[in-house]
Amino acid sequence: ERLIELGYEPSMGARPLRRAVQREIEDAISERILTGDIANAQDVLVDYIEG
């Protein structure tokens, strides 16, 4: 639901959704891989906690 809130634009439909996924999920995972918090090929569970 949160990604839809961030990635839906009435004039553009769902096209901005890809950018929202990159910004909210991919960037955070990439940072954690680079710092060693997540090992290569490790499964990652993504959850959203409001606040």
Q: What b/e string do you get for 8-45 counting C-beta neighbours within 10 Å, with b at 16 or more?
A: eeeeeeeeebeebeeeeeeeeeeeeeeeeebeeeeeee
CATH topology for 1-51 is Helicase, Ruva Protein; domain 3 (1.10.8)
Q: How confident is the model at residue 18, as a pLDDT?
A: 86
Q: How confident is the model at residue 31, as a pLDDT?
A: 93
Whether the predicted model's global pTM rises above the 0.75 cut? no
Token look-up 């940072």 returns 31
Q: How confident is the model at residue 16, as a pLDDT?
A: 87
Kindly give the parts of the chain with pLDDT less than 70: 51
